[in-house]
Amino acid sequence: MMNQDKIGAFISERRKAKGWTQSQLAEKLGVTDKAVSKWETGRSMPDLSLFMPLCVLLEITLNELFAGECISEQNLKEKADEVLMSVIASWLGQEKQVSTAQSAVAKTVLDVQNVSKRYQTKANAVLAVNNVSFQIPHGSFVGIMGASGSGKTTLLNIIATIDKPTSGKISIGGQSIVDMPENEAADFRRGHLGFVFQEYNLLDTLTLYENIALAMTIKNVPAKHVAQTILEISEALGITAILDKFPHEVSGGQRQRCACARALVVNPELILADEPTGALDSHAARQLLGTFSMMCRDYHATILMVTHDVVAASHCDRILFMRDGELKATLNRDAKSKQTFFADILKKMEWIEGESYDVLETVNP
Ligand code: ADP
Ligand code: MG
């Protein structure tokens, strides 16, 4: 297991080898002297966002930092696995197995069958999505992972009725969406889908409350239900205190949670999220992911989220892995703990990408 005292002593040793005082190291990292002193005496661990800069400054690898010692080539592999599990535990918290597996009879919300999308440019043709099929049951939180360019956004946009597939069928809540004319599709999006996109803008001239209320008004929710529903959901999402603020007055994480509230209040069949944590710091990202899990558990929302962040993906019930437009594998969390699922996702990515996946890159892409 990860040993905080040992790591602290190692940081201290490497710092001294560099000839730096605690204050000098603190200054390079933009933290207080006290923080460095606490790490070195094993009283606390550096924040996730500092791991990389710390490793660079001390000229050590991430694995060495967590092992609390320099690692030779031979025992690198063994150490790496051992260290990985404890790193994962420290990121995700110690969490027990999840007890309730998805009910086997949950109805299918999204049904994607043999969907392909070909982009034809002057120079060449790209098969951005290649014969992809899958189903998503009601109440589940599903992630789509894959390297940049693997077709994730294209697939999500097709499901969102923003883009049309070249071939294949898709139904949402039993309704076929691929042949819908644009005006019908716009109504369908408002009535049946919720969006939490990285750059999904709230309206700047409306307060957060008004942004959420607008979504409900468009859906003809009776006025007397609006206030009560917004308050209830805002409470659950922890944004009650900022409802009167304008989007530019709150943080990115708070805006994203407002977007979640706006998606939830209209009770859509399916919520779509494209890299929702991409622009957030690690704390805000964790909060947003906790919010998604809560939305599925307490509000029976069904969420499909595109991400390339393994930490984000480990909150899902199931992961779909894409490569070169194809669905290469799926992984179910089942009753596994978040940590075990995280490790499984990393292994699967290594297998799919055919190369060793650096833990750090997945956290700090
Ligand atoms: P991801 O979201 O996984 O990064 P995308 O779905 O954005 O992947 O892109 C998949 C492939 O399709 C890439 O090769 C990309 O260059 C191509 N592509 C995406 N959109 C278009 C477009 N509008 N026109 C032409 N090619 C596109
Ligand atoms: Mg994308």
Does 167 have pLDDT greater than 90?
yes
What integer is the mean pLDDT of 286-299?
85
How far away, in angstroms, is 158 Cα from ligand 1 center? 12
Residue with tokens 């999904």: 200
Say what the pLDDT of residue 364 is: 41
Going by CA atoms, what residue is nearest to atom 27 of ligand 1?
119
Q: Which residues fall inside 5 Å of ion ligand 2, going by CB? A: 153
Give the Cα-Cα-Cα angle 3, 90, 360 (nearest 5 degrees).
100
What is the DSSP secondary structure assignment for residue 144, as one 8-state letter? E
Q: Is the minimum distance from the CB of 307 to ligand 1 under 6 angstroms?
A: no
Chain centroid to CA 75: how far? 33
Of 113, 126, 122, the closest CA to residue 167 belongs to 113
pLDDT band for 60, please (50, 70, 90 cuts). confident
What pairing do the DSSP bridges indicate for beta strands 270-274 and 193-195?
parallel
What pairing do the DSSP bridges indicate for beta strands 318-323 and 326-332?
antiparallel
Does 318 have pLDDT greater than 50?
yes
Does 361 have pLDDT greater than 60?
no
**CB-based contacts of 93, cutoff 8 Å, min separation 6:** 338
Going by CA atoms, what residue is nearest to atom 15 of ligand 1?
149
Q: Is the minimum distance from the CB of 149 to ligand 1 under 6 angstroms?
A: yes
Backbone angles phi, psi at 163, to 5 degrees: -130, 155
Of 82, 29, 66, the closest CA to residue 360 belongs to 66
**Which one of 105-114, 213-222, 278-287, 316-325 scores highest in mean pLDDT?**
316-325
On whether the CB atoms of residues 183 and 196 are closer than 8 A, the answer is: no
Going by CA atoms, what residue is nearest to atom 7 of ligand 1?
153
Greater confidence (203 vs 117) lies with 117
How far away, in angstroms, is 324 Cα from ligand 1 center? 10
Going by CA atoms, what residue is nearest to atom 5 of ligand 1?
151
On whether the CB atoms of residues 158 and 193 are closer than 8 A, the answer is: no
Going by CA atoms, what residue is nearest to atom 21 of ligand 1?
119
The proportion of the chain whose per-residue pLDDT surpasses 70, expressed as a percent, equals 86
Within 13 Å, how many C-alpha atoms sit on residue 309's CB side?
Answer: 20
Q: Is the minimum distance from the CB of 126 to ligand 1 under 6 angstroms?
A: yes
Does 149 have pLDDT greater than 70?
yes
> What counts of helices (H) and strands (E) characterise the chain?
15, 10
**CB-based contacts of 221, cutoff 8 Å, min separation 6:** 229, 265, 266
The ligand placed nearest to the CA atom of residue 149 is 1
